[in-house]
Structure 1
Amino acid sequence: MTDATMRPAPLVDPFGRAVTYLRVSVTDRCDFRCVYCMAEDMSFLPKAEVLSLEEIDRLCTAFVKLGTRKLRLTGGEPLVRRDIMNLITSLGRHVKAGDLDELTLTTNGSMLFKYAEGLVDAGVKRINVSLDTLDPHKFQAITRWGKFGKVAEGIQAAKNAGLAVKINAVALKGVNDDEFHRMVEWCGERGFDLTFIEVMPLGDLGDVSRLDQYIPLTQVRAELETRWTLEDTDYRTGGPARYVRVKETGCRVGFITPLTHNFCESCNRVRLTCTGTLYMCLGQEDAADLRTPLRLSDDNGLLIDAVRAAIQRKPKGHDFIIDRNRHGAAVSRHMSVTGG
Structure 2
Amino acid sequence: MPLAERGVAWAGFGHHVPERRVPNAEIEAELALPAGWIRARSGIEARHYAAPDQALSDLAIPAGAMALSGVDPGEVGLLLLATSTPDHLLPPTAPLVAHRLGLSCGAVDLAGACAGFLHALVLGAGHARMTGQSVLVIAANLLSRRIDPAETASRVLFADGAGAVLLRPSSNPAEGLRSAVLRSDGAGYDLIGIPRGGSRLPFDAPGKGGLRMAMRDGRKVFAAAVEGMTRSASQALAEAGIAAADLMAWLPHQANARIIDKVGANLGLGGVEWLGALAQYGNSSAATMPLALSLRMGREPALPGGPVLLSAFGAGTIWGAAVWQHRP
Q: TM-score range by the shorter chain?
A: under 0.3
TM-score, reference length from structure 1: 0.27
TM-score, reference length from structure 2: 0.28
Name the structure where strand makes up a greater proportion of residues.
2
